[in-house]
Amino acid sequence: MNIGEAVKHIKKKYPSVTISRLRFLEKEGLINPKRSKGGTRIFTTKDIDRIMKILNLQEDKFYSLKAIKNNEQLISSTINKDIKIQEYSKHDLLKKSGITNDNFNELIEYNFEIEKNIYDQNDLERLSAFAYFFNIGLTAKNFSIIKSSAERGLGFFDMIKTTHEINEDDMEIAIKYFSIIVGSYILKDT
């Protein structure tokens, strides 16, 4: 696949990736995609896996690019200690999620988000999901149906809480399965 297709594929997991970022990784010698006779970069599955590993080390495990470059075993190792970040600044949240400041302000304008001093992992995951939809051309105006569906789903979870004793871990599992059920009905008719 070419560089644009590679970025589109990688954005599903790392919304902050850009064409210029892949070019920079190549310039730094961390990736070496083959070139067509015309000079176009051609990324293989192996190249994509390597890029995903580098991004995982940078964004999820917080290694510096210099540390990754100087320690090839970080890329080849399957054993790396996960570092869980509990709190994010707005700057880090936007960078990691792939949301632009303009997109974030648009979400605030439509009451999908609020400005806070500290953001958590749920905020990051939600904004990463919004970033995906912004990247395919939607705007905050298009998200009103999602908010409406979420508010209806809230009633379902209020019923679960009032009729069953359920702790926070069980609630996360219930939300996961609820999402699977809703997703399967959406896919069923497409």
Q: Give the chain's domain count.
A: 3
Domain assignment of residue 84, yes or no: no
Residue 41 sits at φ, ψ, to 5 deg, of: -65, 135
Could you tell me if 8 and 56 lie in one domain? yes
Domain assignment of residue 183, yes or no: yes
- Segment 86-105 mean pLDDT: 90
pLDDT for the residue 107: 96
Could you tell me if 57 and 110 lie in one domain? no
Q: State pLDDT tens for residues 137-186.
A: 999 999 988 888 888 888 888 888 888 888 888 888 888 888 888 888 88
What domain range is 169 assigned to? Answer: 144-188
Domain assignment of residue 83, yes or no: no
pLDDT for the residue 81: 54
pLDDT for the residue 42: 96
Domain assignment of residue 81, yes or no: no
pLDDT for the residue 79: 58
Domain assignment of residue 184, yes or no: yes
Q: Using pLDDT thresholds of 50, 70 and 90, give the confidence band for residue 84.
A: low
What is the pTM (predicted TM-score) of this model? 0.57
Q: State pLDDT tens for residues 102-146.
A: 999 999 999 999 999 999 988 998 999 999 899 889 999 999 888
